[in-house]
Amino acid sequence: MAGLTSSTIGRKYAMALSAMFLLIFLIIHLAVNLLSVISQDAYNGASEFMGYNPLVQFLMQPILGFAVIFHFIMGFVLEIKNRNARPIKYAVNGSSANSTWMSRNMIISGLVVLAFLGLHMYDFWWHEMDFKYIQGNTPDEARFWPELHARFANIGRVIFYVVAFILLGLHLAHGFQSSFQSVGARHPKYTPVIKAVGNWYSILIPAGFIFIAVFHFLTQ
Ligand code: HEM
């Protein structure tokens, strides 16, 4: 691990691996949350499983927490190192001639997602920890759907979530294909396919989350 994070190439590689892990997490997270618009019972059942299965709670969740924190810290480290390595700004930057807005502003879209995660952890994760481990309540499968539904009664929260999901989409639009490049997956035949999948991923995943937030708001 120390070897991976001590050189710029190693850091980019480790950053890409954490990104790929989070890309997979987002698919699973979206799939579970989509159940909340299909069936209350299915969502409650899936949440009960995720919330009380020891493997998910004590292995997957800590790994996920580590990946999220690692990704953000490494993002800042790479940004600072890049800035220091380039004391004189590129003569042509800020235009679409040599890069996209998304690739130049990963730190901005990342910071918005980080702010979203702060509120999101407070909304859901902290509530779970409090319910289970601080208050020590016994499991109650029927509570999950009403709790999620109630979070989206507040228009301010829904707007903030939707803005964050749009910025998440911009972050993913560059991040998806960039993570493949960083691990050396470059090939004249496969790179266009990776780019196309990345474009669809960065539209469909945030659109799915937006749909869930708006659905719960409109069905209050
Ligand atoms: C409408 C959209 C979303 C809904 C309804 C939602 C719902 C939830 C719920 C209910 C939990 C609690 C799980 C638990 O601890 O029992 C959770 C945790 C979490 N969510 Fe979301 N989420 C949404 C979008 C997102 C997005 C876009 C991200 C990432 C950018 C994200 C990242 C996380 C993380 C990292 C956790 C902690 C994981 C864990 O507790 O195991 N969520 N979310």
Task: For a ligand 1 pocket test, name from 23, 25, 29 the mutation site with the most ligand atoms within 8 angstroms of its C-beta.
Answer: 29
Least confident of 117-131, 138-152, 180-194, 196-210: 180-194
pTM of the model: 0.91
- Secondary structure letter of residue 135 according to DSSP: S
Q: Given this model, what pLDDT does residue 143 score?
A: 96
Q: Given this model, what pLDDT does residue 81 score?
A: 86
Element (H or E) spanning 34, and its range? helix 8-38
Residue 167 half-sphere exposure toward CB, CA atoms < 13 A: 19
Nearest CA to ligand 1 atom 14: 125
CA–CA separation, 41 vs 6, rounded Å? Answer: 48
Residue 4 has pLDDT above 80, yes or no: no
pLDDT in tens, 42-87: 999 999 999 999 999 999 999 999 999 999 999 999 888 888 876 5
* Residue 113 Cβ contacting ligand 1 at under 6 Å: yes
Query: Where are the domains positioned within the chain?
Result: 2-87+99-218
Task: Report the chain's mean pLDDT, rounded to a whole number.
Answer: 91
User: Band of the pLDDT at 8, cuts 50, 70, 90?
Assistant: confident
User: Band of the pLDDT at 177, cuts 50, 70, 90?
Assistant: very high
* Residue 122 Cβ contacting ligand 1 at under 6 Å: no
CA–CA separation, 210 vs 158, rounded Å? Answer: 9
* Residue 64 Cβ contacting ligand 1 at under 6 Å: yes
* 2-87+99-218 CATH, one of 2.40.170.20, 1.20.1300.10, 3.90.740.10, 3.40.50.1370: 1.20.1300.10
Q: Given this model, what pLDDT does residue 27 score?
A: 98
* Residue 68 Cβ contacting ligand 1 at under 6 Å: yes
Which numbered atom of ligand 1 lies nearest the CA of 125? 15
CA–CA separation, 182 vs 57, rounded Å? Answer: 31
Residue 64 half-sphere exposure toward CB, CA atoms < 13 A: 16
pLDDT in tens, 89-141: 555 555 565 678 888 889 999 999 999 999 999 999 999 999 999 999 999 99
Please give the biggest Cα pair distance in the chain. 62
Q: Retrieve residue 99's tokens.
A: 């890069």
User: Band of the pLDDT at 185, cuts 50, 70, 90?
Assistant: confident
